[in-house]
Structure 1
Amino acid sequence: MMRPARALLPFLLLPVLLTGCDADADKNGGTAADGASLDAAARDWGIAPELVYVTKVSGYTASQQSAGEYDGEFVVAYRSEKGATQFGLFVGHGTMTAENCPKQPLGEVSDKHVACEHDGDAWYREAGDSHEYAVPDDDGVVIRLITDADKVDRAILRKAAQAAHRPDDAELAALQPATAGADADA
């Protein structure tokens, strides 16, 4: 029987196993994608532009095929260059506070107690076999990096959380299919 905690990850990460795409950009040096290209990409994905974030962690690459909307959130899967481990980046509207942190389910885990630990500007959360870093911003957006606890260690998730940022033009282009925008004239 598949555990609920693992129900979403295989669905999300299946495309990662098929192919990946490297976003060769440094942590955002203040050069976010211009508004028009970000708006167009968000529209193609069916998501609000303020939810589009990426991260960069040495040894992991983003999967172009995984980028898009899932259940009202922006999602991107990252896999290790060796292909053995992966984590998901989810960005949605909401808040994360000491009061509501343990009340919010961790991914698809809804029947397990969620343990929360404040870590800098983020929250480290554990439930069942899953763990995540959740980073709330000042605009009512929460960036979550989630994976199986036995697959990716906390240090990697923390680095990914610290590196989460709005994409620059190169990172945005790397997440979009080559044909993106080709039929946008309609």
Structure 2
Amino acid sequence: MTRAVRALPTLLLAAALLTGCGTERAGSEASGTPADQAELASRAKALGIAPELVYATGAPGFTLARQSVGVQGDDGFSAAYTDRTGAVIHLYTDRPRTAGRHEYEVTKKDCVVWLEGEGGVSGAVLGKALRAVHRPTAGELDTLLPAPDPEFTDGEPVRRGDLPTNGDGGPPDNSVPTPGL
């Protein structure tokens, strides 16, 4: 009887802690306020991505690899999420007319989103990530689509300053070396 009385507070505390867990789905739109659409459009267009094709996802243990964000096809979106073991979940979006059929695919408004895994990503993890596909939240926007540097958005190419104005400064050498000479 004494053991049961001592164990009761621990069990009640564990039950209270567990009821608070899992109430917010990873990567769901409920986990944050939607991103400002004008800001999302500005950032996406700077990368050549159609704003309506930008989506995010979430899977336990996976984080966005920021350097992976880019264009898919003509104006679609792609990103990769990695875990500590080196496994990768690739997220791709495109317009329905250009996208093929994929095992882990979902249609959203005017867009097809599909996921591919590598490095041992299980079908169960891809399924969870597919169910978590959503439009980016305000909190995700800075990571997913960083604000463009105003210095590089004027439409002009970057001037290096260390290159001559005409060619590379020397004639091309197209000769082929002769062996043994």
Equivalent of 2:38, from 24, 36, 39? 36
Identity %: 34
Which residues of structure 1 form unaligned runs of 5+?
Answer: 1-24, 107-124, 126-132
The alignment's TM-score, normalised by the length of structure 1, stands at 0.60
Greater strand proportion: 1
Q: Which one has the largest radius of gyration?
A: 2
- What CA distance in whole angstroms lies between the structure 2 residues aligned with 1:143 and 1:180? 25
The aligned residue for residue 163 of structure 1 is: 132
Deviations 1:16-66 (A, max 9, x none): xxxxxxxxx852127211111111111122011010000011100011111
Look up the match of 1:79.
82
C-alpha distance in structure 1 between counterparts of 2:87 and 2:149, whole Å:
32
1:154 CA displacement:
0.6
CA distance in 2, matches of 1:46, 1:174: 17
Determine if contact 2:27/2:133 at 8 Å carries over to the other structure: no
Q: Is the 8 A contact 1:95 1:142 kept in 2?
A: no
Change (3 A) 1:153 1:43: same
Contact 2:27–2:57 (CA under 8 A) maintained in structure 1: no
Counterparts in 2 of 1:14-29, with a 5 A limit? 26-29=27-30
Tell me the residue number matched to 1:136: 107
**Secondary structure, counterpart of 2:139 in structure 1:** helix
Count how many residue pairs are aligned between Structure 1 and Structure 2.
127
Q: Secondary structure at the match of 1:53?
A: coil
8 Å CA contact retained: 1:95, 1:141: no
Query: What CA distance in whole angstroms lies between the structure 2 residues aligned with 1:140 and 1:48?
Result: 11
Distance (Å, rounded) in 1 between the aligned partners of 2:152 and 2:37: 16
Map 1:1-186; keep pairs closer than 5 Å.
26-29=27-30, 31-72=33-74, 73-80=76-83, 82-94=84-96, 104=100, 106=102, 125=103, 133-137=104-108, 139-148=109-118, 151-177=120-146, 180-183=148-151, 186=154
Distance 1:26 1:151 in 2: 21
For CA contacts below 8 A with separation 6 or more, give which structure has more relative contact order: 1
After TM superposition, give the deviation of residue 151 of structure 1 in Å.
Answer: 1.4
